């Protein structure tokens, strides 16, 4: 259990292709004394916080000082699982690279860099009252609990169907971190017409065909798709700036609803406590 603020123990770099831009992007990770995760792009400092979220179409994008960085959710989940609270990420493009579609490569490099602990606490956000965000038949809610307990339900056409999974804090961490983003085959054309997924391929996403998974090697885990939705949720929740303590239940949620939940939590100081 993380008790104090932390940062990475050494500088490291990673490069890859942006899922939506198709551009090669390099990230440089630097230790940070100040609290929180922040990106630096084009000379602008962009805190990785819920109130900096500017767009949630198919990814979480943050913006500040006239600059923006998209697709931060997998990297944020890697920070969460690595126990990193403070870090500066210098990026030379407008989107975090997709890597293999999961958070594994980010997490692995953070593990190799190691963790440095500061004396200061104040890393947890404890939910004190039930809070909910809904949109049509999708919803995400959180109730008071002394740990992070997530139950995720997804529902898509066959062969995915309805899937449900519950995880406690960093339980099943490897299978969550290593689960890839996914897309229905019939949605790809519309996504690309919208100018997105220019860097998408079978190397960085699971494609769901009419009757089966298109990727030659199939799924990494039987529940890889619901696993990835949990990964996205954890990454989005970490933009609250803290490690959340609460019982989270999510049904067909996405980046937009995840952000709405955080905005609802912070709309009233009686909803939470920091320690």
> What are the pLDDT digits (tens) for 44-101?
999 999 999 999 988 999 999 999 999 999 999 999 999 999 999 999 999 999 999 9
d(C-alpha 172, C-alpha 170), whole Å: 6
Q: Is the pLDDT of residue 236 over 80?
A: yes
Give the per-residue pLDDT at 1. Answer: 73
Residue numbers in the known binding site are 74, 228, 232
How sure is the predictor about 195, in pLDDT bands with cuts at 50, 70 and 90? confident
Give the per-residue pLDDT at 170. Answer: 72
One of 3.40.50.620, 2.60.40.10, 3.30.230.20, 3.40.50.2300 is the CATH number of 6-117, namely: 3.30.230.20
Q: Is the pLDDT of residue 143 over 80?
A: yes
Q: Is the pLDDT of residue 172 over 90?
A: no
Give the per-residue pLDDT at 2. Answer: 87
Give the per-residue pLDDT at 265. Answer: 98
Residues spanned by CATH 3.30.1700.10 within the chain? 124-274
| Residue 61 · residue 67 · CB < 8 Å | no
d(C-alpha 240, C-alpha 86), whole Å: 13
Give the per-residue pLDDT at 171. Answer: 73
Query: What per-residue string of b and e applies to 17-53 under the rule 16 or more CB within 10 Å gives b?
Result: bbbbbeeebebebebbeebbbbbbbeeeebbbbbebb
Residues spanned by CATH 3.30.230.20 within the chain? 6-117
Give the per-residue pLDDT at 250. Answer: 98
> Per-residue pLDDT averaged across 130-140, rounded?
97
How sure is the predictor about 197, in pLDDT bands with cuts at 50, 70 and 90? confident
> Per-residue pLDDT averaged across 95-122, rounded?
97
Q: Is the pLDDT of residue 263 over 90?
A: yes
Give the per-residue pLDDT at 196. Answer: 83
Q: Is the pLDDT of residue 241 over 80?
A: yes
Give the per-residue pLDDT at 169. Answer: 78
Catalytic residues: 255
* Bridging pattern class, strands 115-117 and 86-91: unpaired
| Digit-coded pLDDT (tens) for 13-47 | 999 999 989 999 999 999 999 999 999 999 999 99
Percentage of the chain exceeding pLDDT 70 = 100
Residue numbers in the known binding site for Zn(2+) are 74, 228, 232
Tokens encoding 13: 């770099």
d(C-alpha 87, C-alpha 40), whole Å: 11
Tokens encoding 63: 């913006």
Give the per-residue pLDDT at 262. Answer: 98
> Per-residue pLDDT averaged across 100-124, rounded?
97
How sure is the predictor about 112, in pLDDT bands with cuts at 50, 70 and 90? very high
One of 3.30.710.10, 3.90.550.10, 3.30.1700.10, 3.40.50.300 is the CATH number of 124-274, namely: 3.30.1700.10
């Amino acid at each position: 259990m993380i008790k104090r603020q932390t940062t990475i123990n050494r500088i490291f770099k990673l490069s890859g292709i942006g899922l939506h831009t198709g551009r090669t992007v390099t990230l440089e990770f630097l230790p940070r004394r100040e609290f929180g995760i922040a990106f630096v792009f084009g000379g602008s400092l962009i805190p990785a916080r819920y109130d900096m979220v500017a767009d949630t179409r198919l990814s979480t994008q943050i913006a500040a000082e006239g600059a923006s960085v998209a697709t931060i959710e997998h990297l944020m989940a890697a920070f969460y699982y690595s126990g990193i609270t403070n870090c500066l990420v210098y990026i030379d493009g407008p989107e975090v690279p997709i890597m293999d579609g999961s958070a594994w490569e980010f997490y692995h490099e953070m593990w190799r860099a190691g963790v440095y602990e500061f004396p200061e606490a104040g890393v947890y956000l404890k939910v004190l009252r039930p809070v909910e965000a809904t949109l049509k038949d999708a919803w995400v809610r959180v109730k008071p609990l002394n740990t992070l307990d997530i139950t995720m339900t997804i529902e898509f056409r066959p062969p995915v169907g309805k899937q449900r999974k519950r995880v406690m804090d960093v339980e099943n961490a490897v299978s969550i971190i290593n689960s890839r983003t996914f897309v229905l085959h019939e949605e790809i054309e519309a996504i690309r017409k919208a100018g997105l997924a220019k860097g998408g391929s079978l190397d960085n996403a699971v494609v769901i065909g009419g009757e089966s998974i298109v990727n030659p090697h199939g799924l990494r885990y039987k529940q890889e798709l619901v696993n990835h939705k949990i990964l996205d949720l954890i990454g989005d929740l970490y933009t609250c700036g803290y490690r959340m303590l609460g019982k989270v239940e999510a049904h067909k949620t996405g980046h937009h609803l995840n952000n709405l939940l955080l905005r609802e939590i912070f709309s009233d100081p009686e909803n939470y406590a920091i320690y």
